[in-house]
Structure 1
Amino acid sequence: MKKRLLYIFLIPLFFKGFTQDLKKDSITTNKLNEVVVTAQFEPQSLKKSVHNVRVITNNDLKKLAANNLSDVLNQYLNITIVPSSGTGRSTVSMFGLDGSYFKILVDNIPIVSDNSLGNNIDLTQINLDDIEQIEIIEGSMGVTHGAGAVTGILNIITKKNSQNEWEISASVQEETVGKEYAVFNKGKHIQTVKVSNKINDNWFGSIGVNRNDFKGYLDTRKGENHTESDGKRGYTWLPKLQYFTNGMLSYKKNAFRAFYKFDYLNENIDYYNPTLLVIANPPFGANTFAKDKRYKTARFYHHLNSVGTLFSLKYNVSISHQKQSRETEDFIYNFQNNNEEGNSTTTNQSAEVLYSTGTISNFFKNKKADLQIGYELVNNLGHALVNGENQSLILVRKRFENYDFFIASEIKATKKLLVRTGIRASIQSKFDNQTASSIGLRYLFENNIEVRSSMGKSFRVPTFEELYSKIKFSGHQFYGNENLVPEQSTSYDFNLKKTAFLSSQLKMSNQVSSAFLNVDDRIDMAFVGFETGTTDPIYQYININSYKMWNVSTTHQLHYKNWNFSTGLIYVGISQVIDNGEAKSDDRFLYNLQLNGSLSYEVPKSNIQFSAYYKFNGKQQQFISSVENNETVYKLSEIDNYSFLDASVRKFFYKKQLEINLGARNLLNVTNANQGTIAGAHSNSSTILLGYGRSYFIKIAYNLNY
């Protein structure tokens, strides 16, 4: 019934846009790279935005030869990529907080994950084939983007139009995985095909397919066909095969625009058990078996959007249906027969979401003020298997709903001063109702000096795992907690930017920024007692910890003729009290320094581009728990610094129809970082896996536009 009411609400807006004859929209899709759309009343220039928006262009993506979002963000300040060799996932961490606090969207719609919406997204599951640009805003964005937008948001803007009648592109990319490569069974192999058609002045359509075959990283392991019982079977980084399919159909007439977008992801990750089972089979010797697994992920994404004018009011309405599921296929591999036996598939987690968001603006004819009223509706059905008694699995199915309404105002107090305020009310089905608020200022001084400042309050609701998980092993018990309450956050940001045009061919831009973030009622696992009649400890998620962060950063960009150079620095201090019920860390600030830089040069006559990207991650300190004299204590640990360096050469042929990109990732050959406790010298050291070393790639792409 709720779905029907939502469609009935949207239908008049779509038909109204088709029937009205309106002034032609001054901002067209082909100029998208000159404007930003995230958290704006309407698309506008970067300079006019009240937020400090960081833009990654389509050209930046091509220089990197990036094939997923992890390849891109690894080079940017404030963002740390957290890879997992065991699961194949890569998530984002910003300012020491994980992906639960950072929201990822496509065309302003949050992406579904196994147990969340917009948060904890696996970056390797985001394809980059049809991206126009990526926009990043740091700080609490709860008013415009709701729960989970605590440290910031990332919005992927996809391509919805073309200057050409037909655009046909195909590419092949071959890449080593460290030193490992073979045409069929080692390395990384990527193929893409995309076809776009500007059907007429109003209609545009596109369809694309991407295959990404990562053959895994052996390192000291010996692959799936290894039959010795020495624990070396399998891979250090698991093999992963992904298929992406996407389609787009858009319509534009005068000021009305509408599009439908479809995406499908299919992913298989193979786990080869290093423990072998050898069963005697006289007189034929012995049979060897292994209990292997295959992790399967499928995601469907539908998005219908309409933008236009209704009774002089501008509206932007989207409805989206998404579903993502993760399954585990268990089977016995028989080495003698080279086949799989006893295959059984279990759905571990899934989330199905019906989502809609919309805004209405342009209430006043006076251009000195504007008002935006918006809504967000979320209907999320979650499914998970959790551990029960006696090693049993229990199915948990829960539906979460929230109905959010927000209002924001923009006041042009003077020609140079813009003030933006907003407030959101979120009606929650599971938790107490929540609110978010913000105020932002932008002032344009003489001589191209821009000043921005903002304050925002946001919230994060508990995840499915934090609410319902149950894990039992070796006498320990870890539980979710249905009584958790949402976390609350407050952030303050300041940004000063100066752009100088020193000559017709020399442009310089300098920025200085600072920020402060505070999170209360932070959720973490803590000791809550012992199981009745035993000494088995019980741990549970509770609202117990606090978190504070401040930072100061500076970025500089220089453009001279065909040279582009940028560099940046950020210094971050983090204070967080970790209380697990048995021990408590202190609240001192721990500091981290990051540096980055990029350099590119283009030779127009030869159609060659040279690019290099560098990022330095300084030493990181954090408290970790350990047991001393049968008591849990928190000790300060330190992760050694490390750096990443990527470089590429891109060459165009035949009027830029053919391009070849040669390059290397991780030229400094980083594989891991040492982590040890600080006690005069490193002790109890361990290593954190970061990558698989220096890799080389070649990408050949053919683009036919006419």
Structure 2
Amino acid sequence: MGRLLGLMFFLLPAFLAAQVKLTLIDKASGQVVEGAVIYAQGQNGQIVAQAVTNEAGLTSISIKDFPVQLLTSHLGYEPLRTTIGVAGEYALALDPAQKQLDEVVVTGQFEPQSARQSVYRVRTISMERIQAAGATRLQDVLNTELNIRFSQDLSLGGSNLSLQGLSGQNVKVLMDGVPMIGRQGTGNEININQVNVNSIERIEIVEGPMAVIYGADALAGVINIITKKPESGRWSGSAKLHEETVGTEYGLKQGIHNQSVSLGYSKHSFYTLTDFTHNYFGGWQGSAEDRDKEWHPKTQWLASSLAGFKTDNLDVYYRLDYLNENIYNPGLFSGIEAIDQRYITNRFMHQVQGTYLFSDRLKYNGALSYTDYSRQIQTVTVNKNTGDVRLALDPSLQDLTQFDGLTFRGTFLYKVSEQLSVQPGYDFNVESGSGGRLAEGISSIGDYAFFVSSEIKPNHWLSFRPGVRMVKNTAYDAPPFIPSVNAKFQLTVKHDLRLSYGRGFRAPSLRELYFYFFDASHSIEGNPDLKAELSHSFNASWNAKWFTSSDVKFNTALTGFYNTVDNMIGFGVKPGNANITTYLNIEKFKTTGFTWTNTFMYKQFELGAGIGYTGRYNQLIETGEVPDEFLWSPEINGSASYAIPAIGASVSLFYKYTGRTPFLATDVTGLIELNETEGFHWADLSIKKSLNKKFNLSAGVRNLFDVTRINNMAANGGPVHGGGLTRPVGYGRSYFINLSYNF
């Protein structure tokens, strides 16, 4: 009985919290505002609660101590700050004439803050942008972003990205700040299309090395996927059906068929959220014949569940994400038999994250994550006459790769004064793998690091953030110190300048260290003596807000970068045995370039336009007859959207031109020659209409220019000898429609 009374006494404050009920409306049209985030800030300056308005513009927040300040955030409205002294019902009118571009960001920050106040330039992609694209995969969202490019691996059914001209091995992909394990068990080669796009609240992208905070494999930058959290004080849920053609192909077993459902609940200190998604892609015949397909059919099952507990000083939650992916590669019949393959991926990602506020000056944030990843290659023979299916007898046609990843990281934030904050932290990572043609049975790498950074604000116009990371790795000699320094200058009220330098490194993967594959056609082994790739990176950005009137906004951003990478890992001949191919530190690589982006808004109309120019250099250039040190490639992108509040509709267009991309390859005689991949245009168009307060209908066209493959060609116009004749880009112009229900 005493324990029960003690428990009731402990929980009593949570049930005594007063309810503040809010209705948010559009000041111009009088319509309700859905998806607005409301932050409640206590007298100590800390965020004590937050909530999101539903389709009726309603939400509620539990508040214990008054007065509190309420701050609203929505991409389509000017932020509003107001103070309330007692519980009750309040109506807040938001001005739609100005749009809030300075979203609250968390990636690389000491604590959540405005993107404009951050020493990093953080690019944010909102949930509204994801929905406007009608996206079924993350690539649909990032495809038209500057400085990001994709290459398709049709044999394995994956997509690889590059950032600032550096490959996806150098891009750290995070989920809620925790590293993900990728398609081949290496966290630096994540297949981003294995992420559930329906669970994303927003995406934050920071370009440039983030090694001090996030460790290895973040030479090019970080992509942080922020997942949805349940709305405060209520049940909430959604369901969505998405149908799409694949080029001109559509049917029960053709095209794209996606279904998703989510259910969340938040009451007092407890919150939970569960969602399920099924993705079916029927493949695309393309130029393939008979049973074969140019793009392989794929089925995905994705699920996640979250449960958390939050008080004034504590916020802790557990999250589980599950992926099952099955890619089917049907073969052609040779006589009466065909060889079919399936690539089956399973991934469980467990997270426990928590924040504890010791005082107004001291806060702790910690995360513990465990990922269990497996990828199986299953090969069978199919009898044409009988339909009999049997496992192929050749053991080299079967494979099972398993990887486990454990991450334990935490940071302390101590505010010495308004001008100085210090953040020490630790980051422990252990990754083990087996199978997948790895030598020595089970292999593992341990990476143990401590880091410290500080943010110094000597005056209102300067923020200065130095940092250093100390690393111990069990598999290779890691650099003992990884430094970085970032500075932000507020030149005027409307102009900001950011400068940064960072030392980055990429750890050799387990596959590069311990790979072992010998058969009649292959002689490849890993190299346990590999060194880490090391980089120096310089980044600069200038941001200007030219007009900020009630009717017009015009913003400009100019960025530049320079990266140099030493000890880049590549394939080479094993010293002492020319018959064996291995991994060696043989290359030097550089990238440099700039982007110029502009955003113009007038009432309900928004227009974006940008250009980018990226140069790449590697050591092969020193041995080939190439006129310039850097090989350059341009990009142009644009977007346009128009909202029609009177009928609850909006129209969005996204466009990108990827220019010709030069690359080096060896010809049939072994000489280095300059080739190039031709440029192409990509555009997506969508229309969204609110049917009522709960139902929304979207329809659109993807890949308006009907791009499927682009040609590789010699720079002099002759035939190409290396890199293949064509490169896959898409499966043709497609049409989609989706219906969503929210409550």
| CA positional deviation for 1:32 | 7.4
In structure 1, which of residues 658, 673, 689 is the aligned counterpart of residue 728 of structure 2?
689
User: Sequence identity of aligned pairs in percent?
Assistant: 31
Counterparts of residues 478-517 of structure 1 (less than 5 Å): 478-517=524-563
- DSSP-derived class of the 1:679 partner: coil
Question: Partner amino acid for 1:643?
Answer: H
Give me the whole-angstrom Cα distance separating, in 2, the residues matched to 1:80 and 1:476: 30
Give me the whole-angstrom Cα distance separating, in 1, the residues matched to 2:601 and 2:231: 28
Deviations 1:252-287, CA, capped at 9 Å, x for gaps:
2113211111110001111111143x4xxxxxxxxx
Give me the whole-angstrom Cα distance separating, in 2, the residues matched to 1:472 and 1:378: 31
Question: Partner amino acid for 1:408?
Answer: S
Give me the whole-angstrom Cα distance separating, in 2, the residues matched to 1:64 and 1:652: 16
What residue is the counterpart of 2:592 in the other structure?
Answer: 550
What residue is the counterpart of 1:674 in the other structure?
Answer: 711
Counterparts of residues 581-600 of structure 1 (less than 5 Å): 588-600=629-641
What residue is the counterpart of 2:428 in the other structure?
Answer: 377
Counterparts of residues 65-76 of structure 1 (less than 5 Å): 65-76=134-145
In structure 2, which of residues 664, 675, 695 is the aligned counterpart of residue 637 of structure 1?
675
What residue is the counterpart of 1:612 in the other structure?
Answer: 653
| CA positional deviation for 1:201 | 2.2
| CA positional deviation for 1:382 | 1.2
In structure 2, which of residues 473, 482, 491 is the aligned counterpart of residue 428 of structure 1?
473
What residue is the counterpart of 2:113 in the other structure?
Answer: 44
What residue is the counterpart of 1:26 in the other structure?
Answer: 47
- DSSP-derived class of the 1:90 partner: strand
What residue is the counterpart of 1:355 in the other structure?
Answer: 407
- DSSP-derived class of the 1:330 partner: strand
In structure 2, which of residues 254, 258, 267 is the aligned counterpart of residue 190 of structure 1?
258
Give me the whole-angstrom Cα distance separating, in 2, the residues matched to 1:84 and 1:346: 20
| CA positional deviation for 1:82 | 1.3
Structure 2 residue ranges without an equivalent (≥5): 1-10, 18-41, 52-71, 75-102
Counterparts of residues 643-662 of structure 1 (less than 5 Å): 643-655=681-693, 657-662=694-699
Give me the whole-angstrom Cα distance separating, in 2, the residues matched to 1:314 and 1:32: 24
What residue is the counterpart of 1:227 in the other structure?
Answer: none
Distance 1:380 1:585, change over 3 A: farther
- DSSP-derived class of the 1:466 partner: helix
In structure 1, which of residues 622, 629, 652 is the aligned counterpart of residue 663 of structure 2?
622
Deviations 1:377-425, CA, capped at 9 Å, x for gaps:
11111123328xxxxxx66311111111000011001111000000001
Counterparts of residues 174-213 of structure 1 (less than 5 Å): 174-182=243-251, 184-198=252-266, 200-213=267-280
Give me the whole-angstrom Cα distance separating, in 2, the residues matched to 1:699 and 1:680: 44
Output the TM-score relative to the length of structure 1.
0.88
Question: Partner amino acid for 2:501?
Answer: M
Give me the whole-angstrom Cα distance separating, in 2, the residues matched to 1:349 and 1:216: 25
What residue is the counterpart of 2:601 in the other structure?
Answer: 559
Distance 1:72 1:185, change over 3 A: same
What residue is the counterpart of 2:153 in the other structure?
Answer: 84
- DSSP-derived class of the 1:129 partner: helix
Counterparts of residues 299-318 of structure 1 (less than 5 Å): 299-310=347-358, 312-318=361-367
In structure 2, which of residues 612, 616, 626 is the aligned counterpart of residue 570 of structure 1?
612
- DSSP-derived class of the 2:607 partner: strand
Give me the whole-angstrom Cα distance separating, in 1, the residues matched to 2:173 and 2:112: 19
Question: Partner amino acid for 1:573?
Answer: G
Give me the whole-angstrom Cα distance separating, in 2, the residues matched to 1:585 and 1:439: 38
Give me the whole-angstrom Cα distance separating, in 1, the residues matched to 2:304 and 2:112: 25
| CA positional deviation for 1:562 | 0.5
Give me the whole-angstrom Cα distance separating, in 2, the residues matched to 1:306 and 1:168: 25
| CA positional deviation for 1:310 | 2.6
Question: Partner amino acid for 1:94?
Answer: L
What residue is the counterpart of 1:391 in the other structure?
Answer: none
Question: Partner amino acid for 1:460?
Answer: R
What residue is the counterpart of 2:189 in the other structure?
Answer: 120
| CA positional deviation for 1:540 | 2.0
Deviations 1:113-143, CA, capped at 9 Å, x for gaps:
2544531111210111222111000001100
Q: 2:344 aligned with 1:296, yes or no?
A: yes
In structure 2, which of residues 286, 299, 307 is the aligned counterpart of residue 219 of structure 1?
286
What residue is the counterpart of 2:315 in the other structure?
Answer: 257
Give me the whole-angstrom Cα distance separating, in 2, the residues matched to 1:274 and 1:99: 32
- DSSP-derived class of the 1:40 partner: coil
Q: Does the Cα contact within 8 Å between 1:110 and 1:117 map onto a contact in 2?
A: no
Q: 2:344 aligned with 1:273, yes or no?
A: no
What residue is the counterpart of 1:3 in the other structure?
Answer: none
Q: Does the Cα contact within 8 Å between 2:700 and 2:737 map onto a contact in 1?
A: yes
Question: Partner amino acid for 1:301?
Answer: M
| CA positional deviation for 1:338 | 3.2
Give me the whole-angstrom Cα distance separating, in 1, the residues matched to 2:323 and 2:232: 29
What residue is the counterpart of 1:281 in the other structure?
Answer: none
| CA positional deviation for 1:81 | 1.1
Structure 1 residue ranges without an equivalent (≥5): 1-14, 223-231, 279-287, 388-393
Q: Does the Cα contact within 8 Å between 2:482 and 2:503 map onto a contact in 1?
A: yes
Q: Does the Cα contact within 8 Å between 1:25 and 1:255 map onto a contact in 2?
A: no
What residue is the counterpart of 2:301 in the other structure?
Answer: 243
Count of residues in Structure 1 that have an aligned counterpart in Structure 2? 649
What residue is the counterpart of 2:486 in the other structure?
Answer: 440
Output the TM-score relative to the length of structure 2.
0.84
Give me the whole-angstrom Cα distance separating, in 1, the residues matched to 2:437 and 2:317: 39
Q: Does the Cα contact within 8 Å between 1:299 and 1:322 map onto a contact in 2?
A: yes
Give me the whole-angstrom Cα distance separating, in 2, the residues matched to 1:32 and 1:431: 46
| CA positional deviation for 1:548 | 1.2
| CA positional deviation for 1:197 | 1.2
Q: CA RMSD in A?
A: 2.4
Give me the whole-angstrom Cα distance separating, in 2, the residues matched to 1:349 and 1:212: 24
Q: Does the Cα contact within 8 Å between 1:177 and 1:692 map onto a contact in 2?
A: yes
| CA positional deviation for 1:505 | 1.8
Distance 1:308 1:384, change over 3 A: same
Distance 1:463 1:602, change over 3 A: same
Deviations 1:405-463, CA, capped at 9 Å, x for gaps:
00001100111100000000111011113331100100112231111000000110111
Q: 2:374 aligned with 1:325, yes or no?
A: yes
Deviations 1:219-258, CA, capped at 9 Å, x for gaps:
2335xxxxxxxxx432111110000011111222113211
Question: Partner amino acid for 1:292?
Answer: D
What residue is the counterpart of 1:701 in the other structure?
Answer: 740
What residue is the counterpart of 1:108 in the other structure?
Answer: 177
Q: Does the Cα contact within 8 Å between 2:348 and 2:372 map onto a contact in 1?
A: yes
Deviations 1:571-598, CA, capped at 9 Å, x for gaps:
1111111399xx7676721001001000
Question: Partner amino acid for 1:326?
Answer: R
Q: Does the Cα contact within 8 Å between 1:623 and 1:637 map onto a contact in 2?
A: yes
Q: Does the Cα contact within 8 Å between 2:165 and 2:614 map onto a contact in 1?
A: no
Q: Does the Cα contact within 8 Å between 1:466 and 1:481 map onto a contact in 2?
A: yes
- DSSP-derived class of the 2:712 partner: strand
Give me the whole-angstrom Cα distance separating, in 2, the residues matched to 1:313 and 1:477: 56
In structure 2, which of residues 276, 288, 292 is the aligned counterpart of residue 234 of structure 1?
292
| CA positional deviation for 1:202 | 1.5
Give me the whole-angstrom Cα distance separating, in 1, the residues matched to 2:196 and 2:244: 17
What residue is the counterpart of 1:151 in the other structure?
Answer: 220
Give me the whole-angstrom Cα distance separating, in 2, the residues matched to 1:136 and 1:171: 27
Q: Does the Cα contact within 8 Å between 1:475 and 1:537 map onto a contact in 2?
A: no
Give me the whole-angstrom Cα distance separating, in 2, the residues matched to 1:625 and 1:101: 25
